[in-house]
Structure formats: C-alpha cells, structure tokens
Structure 1
C-alpha cells in the first residue's frame, strides 16, 4: 500500500474512498467503539479504504479531528465523519479540521441532501465558508481539489427517506446514498430486528434502486453479508471491528475449552488480555 503524493491539485493526503468510488469499485469503511488516532492507525494496516469517526453517537471530539485524520492519511484512508445533525457549521468545521468526507444521518428529502452539498462545497458548487484548514498546506488549487475530493454521504433511516430515493439520488454532489438497517427496522416497528423479512426486503429494494441510479449505494455490512449487498450493487460498505473482536474472543474461548475442559465445557480459567 503506497501513499499517493501527486495530483493536479497538489499532494493528496488520503481519501481512497473517493478513488475507489470513482473507479467503480467497492469502498469499505471500518469503525469501532474508539474514536482515537491510535485506533485509526491500527485499522489502517488492515487495508480498509476509510475510517468512520462517530460524531452522532460516539466519542468524537473536535480536538481529536486533526490527529485522527492524520493517522488515516498515513495509510491512505479517508476519515469519514458522521455529524450529529445536518447543521452547516458542523459540516464546514469538520472538513476544515481534516475530515475527508461527511456522513449525515436521518435525511428524508432531496432538499436536505442539497443542503449538505451547499454546506460542504466551496463556490460555485456550494456555500461553504472560506477557511482552508490544515489539509490546504502546500496544496495548489486547494478549493477546486477540496470540492472534487470530499465524499458526501446521506443516510436514509425511515420509510419517508426510502420513498424519496428517486429524488435524492438526483442531487448533484451526493456521492453515496446509505440505507441504515437498524434505524429503518425501528421506524418500521421491528426494533432490534433488521433481519425481519419486511425490513430486509425494504433494504434490498432500496439498495438496488440506488445502485440502478448510478449513485453509489451504501449500507451497514456485517460479516457474512458481503455477497448479499455487493450482488445488489452496493459500493459503500460500513462495517465494525467490534464484530471481529467478539468472533475472535469466542473462537479463543472455544479453543481453550477444548484444551482445558473435559468434554469441551465452559472454561474455568480467567481470560486476561
């Protein structure tokens, strides 16, 4: 894995998500419960295209933005920051401090999607306030490059958002339309059960419609679901390392059972990391 250092806009610092999407590939963005730079650094070695920095539900703070985005850049990853709400000042601040892309939750209409573009893009594409930030240092034609490189994701979390897919995908500047399974399940009356047949059908139908439009379709992808979503046309997959920690811990405990407990019962030894 090599760092890209030259472009028409000067040095490129990360954002393999943009290049993966532009090349017609599948971008994978990993996340976990930690919002620290050392976590991004650890995830970087695993070859993912981006790191999800959680500002809606997680521990993301403004003073960590620079360090986390720099850690991502060391590995060529994009730092995708999820804002807590669609507020232009939050979007612009995150980008100025180093985010390579913005994720906005609970989008329901094309008008809201257009508001994200206006907040994230410099003129003439948008109305982002003119503040260069650290990613402008040493970069030629920063404003043009920033507009071209920033990745914008809107999340659809309820039936109203899904009903407006055809209008949302037509908004210029939106790169990914993301279907959020758990929130959709809650909105459809199936809290905690995104695998419910009605919810699964709605997710699959929405992902297919988005993919058919030419805009990248995105969704949460747990282990074992890659074939399902890629076959539907999804090209932005969000996943969490928490799943692999749990799976690895269970496998370790099972091995310990076989090695130490007659009949493979529950281990009596304490497991200490």
Structure 2
C-alpha cells in the first residue's frame, strides 16, 4: 500500500507558533552539504537564494532534500516574480517563497496568484509529476495546495515603502521582508544601509506591518542593527550568510598565518573541532 504523506508546516505557521522572533541565515553557496551543515546549526530558518546566487532547479531540489528532517524552516528566493518560475519551484516542493522586488499591490497580487490553482490563481496543474504532491501521495493535494505554501514579499525600494500598506493588505501575502541594501540604493544611498533615512524607512514598514497584523522581517548582518529592528517589531531576521562566514573566517586564517609572523608562539585556543 502506498505511503500516505502530509505536507510539512509552512513558515507562516512557524511564525504564528513562535513565542520569539525567528533568526535565520542565507544559504548561497549552491551546495547541499553546506545547506545541511547550516540546517543543523540551531537556527530557525534558512533562505536558499537564487536571485544573487548560483542556484538552479537541480541544486535547489538537492538542498531541500539535504535539509529535510532538520528542525529548520527552508525558504527559497527565486530570481524574479514570475508565474512560470514559481510553478517550477512549487512543483519541486518549495513551500516558502520570498519574492524579490515587489513594488506594488498589483505585483503582490500576481505573486500570490502564481501560487494558487484556478479559480483562485494561475498555477499550472501537474501534481502527478511533482515532488510537492509527492507524486499524488499527499491526499487531496490539489484542494489543499494553498495551505502548503507561504508567500513573503520583499520591500526593497522607495516605491515599495510608499505602497507598503497596500501590499500588506493583499490577501495571501503572509509577511513582508525588508531589504535595506536595495532600499538604500533606490534612495540614492548605495552601500549605506545604516543611513538614518534607510533605517527610518525600514522602521516605517515594521510599524505598518504591526498595524496590519502581519509579520515583518529584515536583513541585518550587523548585530546592533538586527537587535534594534527586533526591538522595533521585526518578527524574523537574517543575520548571516554561508558564503560571508566562509569569506571572513578564511581571511582571518590568512591574517593569522600570513600577515603575522608564521613562527610566532601560538595562542592557546579551545579545540573547536
């Protein structure tokens, strides 16, 4: 007899059940092994990125399989707000989407529609071929599919900040996520994520989300900034990235053994392996 399966809980449900903000990190390397290492770190969620990272359908699938079974939520960011791309991601088994560059309520509505089957949306039907339905081993998947998907949209431009209340009002938008880097660029402050005007725009959106009764998250690698946004009402944060951690740690090794005297007396440190 075939195994009958149930969908896993979504990021929407994890946020609703949490008694504290959820902390996560980017997974950008494209490596299932690195994704699995990060999944076991004790964080609440991972963002597998395909907008600025070398991730295609095959590598996303492999990473979803690698982190499956770990007590961590996996969210995936596609490269673009596109119906065909979403169809492919959802059929792979992506349950939590982070949609980049959503600048208006209309764009948010299009993102939601791409995750819903007709008559409530425009998602193409292929459940018998799809991992999402476990090849039709999930009972009533077509009728229940919308329950298995969460949609978070990114607010990362001046236009999006101006429209944030309307974006939050879109049915099916479960949360918003602030991207200070692109937001700063759109404000003419490229590379100045800590600028007071950028911080103020982020805080405005956090307040709007609280008023709308929807969660808001933010990207903040600086610990002081992250804690300030958490104090300001952020429900979830991204506080690091696999590639950034590797870059900084490998640079530290080079600085220790090359920039300094390589024959100097070693400093005693606890064994971390």
Q: Does 1:33 align with 2:32?
A: no
Tell me: CA distance 1:42–1:101, structure 2 relative to 1, closer, same or farther (3 Å). Answer: same
Write out per-residue CA displacement over residues 117-146 of structure 1, whole angstroms, 9 at most, x where no aligned residue.
100122453221112211312322223443
Deviation at 1:48, TM superposition (A): 2.4
SS in 2 for 1:178: strand
Gaps of 5+ in 2: 264-273
Q: Does 1:22 align with 2:21?
A: no
Deviation at 1:190, TM superposition (A): 0.8
Write out per-residue CA displacement over residues 161-205 of structure 1, whole angstroms, 9 at most, x where no aligned residue.
101111110101111111110001111111101111111111112
SS in 2 for 1:233: coil
Gaps of 5+ in 1: 1-8, 258-264
Give the corresponding residue for 1:165.
164
Deviation at 1:64, TM superposition (A): 1.8
Q: Distance in 2 between matches of 1:170 and 1:37?
A: 36
Deviation at 1:253, TM superposition (A): 7.4
Give the corresponding residue for 2:262.
269
Write out per-residue CA displacement over residues 202-249 of structure 1, whole angstroms, 9 at most, x where no aligned residue.
111222222221111111022413321221111121232345446656
Give the corresponding residue for 1:136.
133
Instruction: Provide runs of 4+ in structure 1 moved above 6 Å.
Output: 250-254
Give the corresponding residue for 1:87.
82
Deviation at 1:53, TM superposition (A): 1.8
SS in 2 for 1:154: strand
Write out per-residue CA displacement over residues 72-93 of structure 1, whole angstroms, 9 at most, x where no aligned residue.
2121433322122111000111
Give the corresponding residue for 2:190.
191
**Contact persistence 2:9–2:148 (CA under 8 A):** no
Q: Does 1:236 align with 2:233?
A: no
Q: Distance in 2 between matches of 1:48 and 1:151?
A: 19
Matches within 5 A, 1:171-186: 171-186=170-185
Q: Does 1:106 align with 2:105?
A: no
